Structure 1
Amino acid sequence: MDIDLALRQEQPAPLTADSTHDAKRDFESWDRSNRMSLMIMKHSIPKAFRGTKSEEITQAKSFLDDLEQHFAKNDKVEMTSLITSLMSMKYKGQGNIREYIMEMFHIASKLKALKIELSKDLLVLMVLEKWTLNELISHCVQEEDRLKRDKIKSAHLVSASKDEGKKRKYQNEAVKGPAQKKQEQVSNNCYFCDKPGHLKRDCAKYHAWRAKKGLPELPKAK
């Protein structure tokens, strides 16, 4: 049985005493498909997404049509709400102007999803129309000052971070005792001549000593 038969075909003519065997078979197939489709849809779709008249509908195709109209009404309500919000938005003189403008573009993107697309030029015009020339200049000056303050604040944070790193380095040096410093200095000295600046394998005196003792020459370090 094709469950979606009632969604693809119109309801056959009602049966009468003169209906043929084929007509009865077609009607029964459609009726069974219609009842199954309605049952599945009503159990699958929450009531919140359906119209109030959906319970009275007895045909699966009509049920889907009613559902589509219900969503179309909801889209219109949302559309009206978004347009109203966009038109009534006003900068209150507090916060980031950029965030305020981005919020307008965010609403415009929601309208675009509802198939109402506003051009960027129109959005820019809507932004500018909300202020007089003096207000716009004043807001631009405020925004420039805010950006400068943020830049100075960032520079202070970077400088403070560097100073903190130097401070920790000096503290670590101060914590080291004379014995530890001497040990570090000794570890950097040649183990043969006890002079800094080279390792034992590179020590000229060590090589001369080995030659004097008749020891084989060491391979040169690569």
Structure 2
Amino acid sequence: MTYDLDHAKWYSSNRKCLMVIKGSIEDSIRDSIPECTTATEYLKKVESLFTGSLKAYASTLIKKLVNEKYTGGGIREHILRMSNTTSKLKLMDLGLKDEFLIHLIFASLPKEYETFVVNYNL
């Protein structure tokens, strides 16, 4: 008798959890996830679906960092933008050394900042 009551409570809780999880996911993503009977199984499928996209996101951030060029405006904002991209990579355990970030920042600057680069290297 207690098993049946516990099972009924678990079933109700599991069904509610699945509804909350599915309700918080975008429709286009939800349609690509196969149906599951438990909330735990559903979350594992969601996790496996996004593991590959995390690697693609890291690759996109690295390409953005390497190809970043100063286009005008504030130099401070340019440096902060590149530093912010690096901090996102650190969260994924792909952090860059500060010296390498400085090299990338200097490489992204136009010729008119060459004296700044030379003075830093002295």
TM-score clears 0.5:
yes
Structure 1 residues 44 and 112: CA distance shift in structure 2, 3 A: same
Unaligned runs of 5+ in 1: 1-24, 143-222
- Correspondence 1:100 to 2:78: yes
Q: Which amino acid counterpart does residue 97 of structure 1 have in structure 2?
A: I
Q: Distance in 2 between matches of 1:50 and 1:115?
A: 28
Q: Distance in 1 between matches of 2:17 and 2:52?
A: 20
Deviation at 1:31, TM superposition (A): 7.6
Q: Distance in 2 between matches of 1:30 and 1:70?
A: 30
Contact 2:33 2:46 in 1 (8 A): no
**Which residue, out of 44, 47, 50, partners 1:65?**
44
Deviation at 1:69, TM superposition (A): 2.0
Q: Which has the larger radius of gyration?
A: 1
Structure 1 residues 31 and 79: CA distance shift in structure 2, 3 A: farther
Deviation at 1:78, TM superposition (A): 2.7
Deviation at 1:32, TM superposition (A): 5.7
Residue 97 of structure 2 corresponds to: 119
Report Cα offsets for 1:117-149 as digits up to 9, x if no partner: 1111110121233458xx2xx22569xxxxxxx
Q: Distance in 2 between matches of 1:76 and 1:31?
A: 40
**Which residue, out of 17, 21, 34, partners 1:41?**
17
Q: Distance in 1 between matches of 2:32 and 2:61?
A: 25
Runs (4+) of structure 1 exceeding 4 A deviation are 28-32
Q: Which amino acid counterpart does residue 70 of structure 1 have in structure 2?
A: L
Contact 1:38 1:59 in 2 (8 A): yes
Q: Which amino acid counterpart does residue 42 of structure 1 have in structure 2?
A: L
Flag the structure with more relative contact order, 1 or 2, with Cα contacts below 8 A and sequence separation at least 6: 2
Residue 88 of structure 2 corresponds to: 110
Structure 1 residues 97 and 139: CA distance shift in structure 2, 3 A: same
- RMSD between aligned alpha carbons? 3.2
Q: Distance in 1 between matches of 2:14 and 2:115?
A: 63
Contact 2:18 2:39 in 1 (8 A): no
Aligned pairs, how many? Answer: 111
Structure 1 residues 121 and 31: CA distance shift in structure 2, 3 A: farther
Report Cα offsets for 1:96-116 as digits up to 9, x if no partner: 223212210011112222332
Q: Distance in 2 between matches of 1:38 and 1:78?
A: 32
Q: Which amino acid counterpart does residue 46 of structure 2 have in structure 1?
A: L
Deviation at 1:30, TM superposition (A): 5.4
